[in-house]
């Protein structure tokens, strides 16, 4: 059987973090063969790794000739690659699968030594879709942090006054995307799950930028405001993801209609989620709703056309050690969902005349449906 090799830091490689569940900033090598699991590390990390992954064998770089290689005048990069080769030889790995982003220089060095390497993205996706107990606990903590921050953002909007078509905060200052975003990040960090600086607090009036626009400047009254946040649990490295859309002030009939449409698509999609159903079919449940209402989707657009309105994106994605990971909930979602998948379901639409609308929930797939981790937060347009 082929072995498994992963090289990277646990902060940048979700494949590595899945095998070694702690934060290690420097890249190192993970090896798996014939039932043995091992890492190549150094004295700075050996005790931490032993505590976090007690079933993993520890290979020290000093035991594989690091000192001699340095004394011979080799560069740091050459020393690190040669020690990795020796670790692979120690476990007698002649054939191995690797993630698609395995370092090219190390791959070349291993192949030159006779090791056959094959990238297998789907294999590593499958491993990570099956969350460990610690990862699932981290996702739940990140979700709790996000819900608390979303509640704080809603409070800021709810308590805002309208002056000159803009929102004013309780202190009398203009309420901006930046102020709300900063408060969201503060609350998430206080709960142990910081959110990145590009989370979305953005109006969705006609003509506003769409997609992953973070939002900037004063927040307007009487138009949809999208709040999309994705905090990351510090302890596990796992993420959550959620979205609600609010309106402060008057809600037009058109905006209310968009809201009902999106909630209908959301309900249909969530109801379709269960183990064994393909991601593309869950996506299709949402497309059916939008298409029946005359909104374009990726299913109805012409080949090569780039949509900027309607339901112009996929339905969602997996969430775990990356905020966007397998399984796909879109046209490429051919893989059936499995019990334990954590998925973000985020239907939405943009109407050129009336603006945009989006909601997003985080679901855990079960054998007979799904557990919705974020449904406790109201879907009302009123914050």
pLDDT tens profile 13-70: 999 999 999 999 999 999 999 999 999 999 999 999 999 999 999 999 999 999 999 9
Per-residue pLDDT, averaged over 127-141, amounts to: 97
pLDDT tens profile 242-269: 999 999 999 999 999 999 999 999 999 9
Q: Which CATH architecture has domain 3-129?
A: 3-Layer(aba) Sandwich (3.40)
Q: Are strands 3-8 and 95-98 parallel, antiparallel or unpaired?
A: parallel
The domain limits of the chain are 3-129, 133-372
| CA distances from residue 118 to 111, 318, 363 in whole angstroms, order as listed | 11, 24, 33
Separation CA 107–CA 109 (nearest Å): 5
Residue 210 has pLDDT above 80, yes or no: no
* CA angle at 22 for the pair 149 and 335, rounded to the nearest 5°: 75
Residue 126 has pLDDT above 90, yes or no: yes
- The pLDDT of residue 279 is 98
- The pLDDT of residue 209 is 79
- The pLDDT of residue 172 is 81
Establish whether domains 3-129 and 133-372 are of one fold: no
Q: Which CATH architecture has domain 133-372?
A: Alpha-Beta Complex (3.90)
DSSP per residue, 142-161: HHHHHHHHHHHHHHHHHT-E
CB 342 within 8 A of CB 334: no
Per-residue pLDDT, averaged over 198-204, amounts to: 97
- The pLDDT of residue 170 is 81
CB 195 within 8 A of CB 212: no
Which of helix, strand or coil describes residue 310? strand
Write 54-59 long-range contacts (CB < 8 A, 24+).
Answer: 56/19, 56/20, 59/31, 59/87, 59/90
Q: 208 pLDDT band (50/70/90 cuts)?
A: confident
Cis peptide before 143 (omega within 30 of 0): no
Whole-number average pLDDT of the chain: 97
Per the listing, tokens 């940048």 go with 12
Q: What is the CA radius of gyration of the chain?
A: 24
pLDDT tens profile 334-382: 999 999 999 999 999 999 999 999 999 999 999 999 999 999 999 999 9
């Amino acid at each position: 059987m082929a072995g498994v090799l992963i090289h990277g830091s646990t902060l940048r490689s979700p494949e590595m973090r899945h095998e070694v569940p702690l934060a290690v900033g420097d890249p190192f090598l993970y090896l798996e063969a014939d039932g043995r699991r091992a890492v190549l590390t150094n004295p700075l990390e050996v005790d931490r790794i032993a505590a976090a992954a007690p079933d993993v064998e520890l290979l020290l770089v000093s035991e594989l000739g690091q000192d001699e290689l340095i004394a011979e005048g080799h560069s740091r990069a050459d020393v690190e690659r040669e020690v990795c080769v020796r670790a692979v030889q120690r476990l007698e790995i002649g054939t191995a699968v690797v993630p698609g982003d395995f370092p090219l220089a190390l791959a070349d060095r291993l192949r030159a030594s006779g090791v056959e390497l094959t990238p297998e993205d789907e294999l590593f996706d499958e491993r990570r879709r099956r969350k460990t107990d610690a990862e699932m606990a981290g996702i739940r903590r990140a979700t709790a942090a996000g819900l608390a921050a979303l509640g704080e953002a809603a409070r800021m909007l709810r308590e805002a006054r309208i002056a000159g078509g803009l929102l004013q905060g309780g202190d009398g200052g203009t309420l901006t995307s930046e102020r709300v975003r900063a408060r969201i990040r503060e609350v998430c960090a206080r709960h142990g799950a910081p959110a990145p600086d590009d989370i979305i607090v953005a109006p969705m009036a006609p003509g506003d930028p769409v997609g992953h626009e973070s939002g900037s400047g004063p927040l307007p009254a009487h138009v949809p405001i999208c709040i999309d946040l994705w905090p990351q649990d510090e302890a596990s490295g796992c993420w959550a993801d959620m979205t609600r859309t609010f309106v402060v002030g008057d809600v037009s009939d058109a905006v209310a209609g968009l809201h009902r449409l999106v909630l209908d698509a959301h309900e249909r999609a969530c109801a379709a989620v269960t183990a064994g159903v393909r991601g593309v079919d869950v996506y299709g449940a949402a497309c059916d709703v939008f298409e029946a209402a005359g909104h374009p989707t990726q299913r109805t657009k012409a080949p090569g056309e780039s949509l900027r309105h309607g339901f112009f994106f996929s339905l969602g994605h997996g969430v775990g050690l990356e905020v966007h990971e397998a399984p796909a909930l879109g046209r490429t979602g051919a893989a059936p969902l499995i019990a334990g998948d954590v998925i973000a379901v985020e239907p939405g639409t943009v109407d050129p005349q009336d603006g945009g609308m989006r909601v997003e929930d985080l679901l855990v797939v079960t054998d007979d449906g799904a557990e919705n981790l974020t449904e406790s937060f109201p879907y009302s347009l009123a914050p």
